[in-house]
Amino acid sequence: MVIVLLGPPGAGKGTQCKRVADKYKLVHLSSGDILRSNRKDGTELGKKAAEYMDSGKLVPDQLIIEMMAGAIESAKGNCVLDGFPRTVVQAKELDKALAAKNKKIDAIVNLAVDDSVIENRMTGRRSCPACGAVYHIETLKPKKDGICDKCGEKLVQRADDNPEVVRNRLKTYHEQTAPVAGYYADNGNKIIDIDSERSVDEVTKAVIEKLDTLSAV
């Protein structure tokens, strides 16, 4: 089964994908996390991606498509996709890759958040470099300031979560990623729109309620 979560940066895709993956026993595939892990390991892909990520631009489609095709294959096609596809070209390639395996996307969830909420979400985000848990300095605080509840590691702020890069990432989203939802709608896919300006738990409840009504999950 393949579930896609769409939405602007900071909408809560990573937060909700972890919960959806746990609930339906799927592999959570975050293109951003895979890229960051490549950068940490110093791979060729990581080196090529760095300047795009640091300036808030998209990494070129071909690099991402290859990377995600490999990840989906490793997950045996049972995954929830977070941050991919982010362009119409990526969406078309994903459709082709799934069709070649007699698969298709089973559900597309679009997390809607107004731009005015996003800067606070992203600049307040703190992540655990060891286990990937994500917190927020106001809305999802760890029990002990700056320390991961799950593994005790010191939390970090992502370098691209500074106000200037956040503005670039939002611009990139509106220009290149927002049209992906239109592509899916034009091709007969139903999009589950979720108001993501509610609490994390309320958003999870709304997402799961909708997914539970689909026979595929």
Which stretches of the chain bind ligand ADP, using CB under 6 A? Answer: 7, 9-15, 121, 124-125, 134-136, 139-140, 196, 198-200, 203
Q: Which of 17, 59, 94, 206 binds ligand AMP (CB under 6 A)?
A: 59
Query: Per CB under 6 A, does 135 bind ligand AMP?
Result: no
Q: Which is nearer to ligand AMP, 137 or 217 (CB)?
A: 137
10 Å CB burial of residue 28 (0-12, 13-18, 19+) is buried
Among ligand AMP, ligand ADP, none, what does residue 12 contact (CB within 5–8 Å per kind)?
Answer: ligand ADP
CA distance 103 to 62: 21
The identity of residue 202, as a single letter, is E
Triad 212, 214, 217: Cα angle to 5°: 70
Q: Is there a catalytic annotation at residue 158?
A: yes
Q: Is there a catalytic annotation at residue 198?
A: no
Whose structure tokens read 């927020």? 136
- Pattern 163-182, binding to ligand AMP, x per CB under 6 A? ------x-------------
Query: Per CB under 6 A, does 12 bind ligand AMP?
Result: no
In 11-142 the beta strands, taken as DSSP E runs, fall at 27-30, 79-82, 107-112, 125-127, 134-136
For the chain, state the CA radius of gyration: 16
Query: Per CB under 6 A, does 121 bind ligand AMP?
Result: no
Residues in contact with ligand AMP by the rule CB under 6 A: 9, 31-32, 35, 52-53, 56-59, 64, 83-84, 86, 90, 160, 169
